[in-house]
């Protein structure tokens, strides 16, 4: 207690006034990522029940690449798609990437601007995830990507709409709290064979070359709707072929090959049977044939005599030798 009284009585040291920075001293500017976050785009990434492991890994890879994404539990198959608009509203998200699985083998992707629209439905093909490919590329988690688009996106109106949808969904908003102020990878959207090919590359600083990071997949456009997960159809892809039709055509092609082989075998059998032409008999063919003399038929009326039994004279000697050998062994 006496020590506390002495400490209280002692005069406190005065605070030093802040000195102005000299000519050689500079104040450190705040980091770029601490700016004001104005574009508050949030993307909800989730799926329906029944997806396989590859789709689950692809969904996790997209969440890793996009710091402005949110996750949610799987949606039941019985629920209607317009329920997703309410889920996005509860999660405070204005964009959505929804993976819909059917028959445990077909995967569909919905890209939507909730709740007004538009929305687009794609068939996802050739999916390869980050863990599966083992690519050599790497990028900083939460960094901003460059979006590269094929020149075809500016020529067709439906591709221009998809380009704007891709920009709003996949580009990281500036000054996002979870993002980094660096640009070290590029996401490319290329149109080939009436499909959109998604690739992700790392930008190497030394020579500005590209090394693939992953994931990779192909989007086959089905329809573009005016509303979010429904509404009037703005565009329908005439080149799209459903997976059921594709599998049916494959089965029909296999059946056609089998039936063709059977028809070829039948034609060969008919040709073999038809090629046998009956030749007329040649009268000169039997000129040099001499018939053999016919032997008279003999009927045996008397029983044949029995053959005499010849005894082996050496048999008693053999028996005696065997007995001598046994006696010799026992002795």
Burial of 318 (0-12, 13-18, 19+ CB in 10 A): exposed
More confident residue, 225 or 331: 225
Residue carrying the six token digits 């090919």: 197
Side-chain-facing half-sphere of 331: CA atoms under 13 Å: 6
Least confident of 7-21, 80-94, 241-255, 314-328: 7-21
What residues have CB less than 8 Å from 78, skipping those under 6 apart? none
Least confident of 120-129, 151-160, 279-288: 279-288
Write the DSSP assignment of 269-314 as a string of letters.
HHHHHHH-PPPPPPGGGGTT--PPPPPPPP---SPPPPPPPPPPTT
Bridge partners for 189 per DSSP: 149, 198
Report pTM: 0.69
Which backbone phi and psi does 225 adopt, to 5 degrees? -105, 150
Q: How far, in Å, CA of 150 to CA of 164, rounded?
A: 13
Residue 169: how many other CB atoms lie within 10 Å:
20
Residue carrying the six token digits 């065997």: 322
Across the range 302-331, mean pLDDT stands at 80
Residue carrying the six token digits 């008999």: 281
173-207 pLDDT tens trace: 988 889 988 899 999 999 999 999 999 999 988 78
67-79 pLDDT tens trace: 999 999 999 988 8
Q: Are 20 and 47 in contact (CB under 8 A)?
A: no
Q: Are 66 and 43 in contact (CB under 8 A)?
A: yes
Q: Are 44 and 95 in contact (CB under 8 A)?
A: yes
Q: Are 33 and 172 in contact (CB under 8 A)?
A: no
Bridge partners for 96 per DSSP: 44, 112
Q: Are 219 and 122 in contact (CB under 8 A)?
A: yes
Write the DSSP assignment of 67-94 as a string of letters.
TTEEE-PPBPTTS-TTHHHHHHHHTT-S
* CATH topology assigned to domain 43-245: Rossmann fold (3.40.50)
């Amino acid at each position: 207690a006496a020590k506390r009284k002495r400490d209280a009585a002692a005069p406190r040291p005065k605070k030093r006034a802040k000195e102005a920075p000299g000519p050689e001293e500079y104040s450190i500017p705040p980091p770029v990522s601490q700016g004001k976050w104005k574009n508050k785009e949030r993307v909800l990434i989730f799926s329906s029940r029944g997806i396989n492991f590859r789709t689950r890994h692809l969904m996790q890879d997209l969440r890793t690449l996009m710091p402005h994404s949110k996750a949610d539990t799987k949606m039941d198959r019985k629920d209607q798609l317009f329920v997703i608009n309410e889920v996005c509203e509860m999660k405070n998200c204005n964009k959505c990437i929804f993976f819909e699985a059917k028959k445990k083998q077909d995967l569909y992707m919905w890209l939507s601007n909730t709740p007004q629209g538009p929305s687009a439905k794609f068939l996802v093909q050739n999916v390869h995830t980050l863990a599966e490919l083992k690519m050599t590329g790497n990028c900083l988690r939460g960094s901003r990507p460059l979006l590269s688009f094929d020149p075809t996106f500016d020529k067709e109106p439906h591709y221009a709409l998809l380009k704007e949808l891709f920009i709003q969904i996949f580009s990281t908003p500036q000054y996002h709290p979870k993002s980094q102020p660096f640009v070290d990878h590029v996401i490319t959207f290329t149109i080939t064979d009436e499909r959109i090919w998604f690739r992700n590359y790392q930008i190497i600083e030394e020579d500005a070359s590209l090394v693939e990071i992953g994931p990779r997949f192909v989007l086959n456009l089905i329809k573009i709707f005016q509303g979010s997960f429904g509404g009037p159809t703005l565009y329908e892809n005439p080149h799209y072929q459903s997976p059921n039709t594709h599998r049916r055509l494959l089965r029909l092609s296999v059946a056609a090959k089998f039936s063709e082989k059977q028809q070829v075998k039948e034609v060969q059998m008919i040709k073999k049977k038809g090629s046998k032409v009956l030749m007329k008999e040649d009268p000169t063919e039997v000129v040099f044939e001499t018939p053999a003399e016919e032997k008279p038929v003999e009927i045996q009326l008397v029983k044949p005599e029995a053959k005499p039994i010849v005894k082996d004279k050496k048999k008693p000697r053999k028996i005696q030798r065997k007995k001598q050998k046994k006696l010799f062994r026992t002795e």
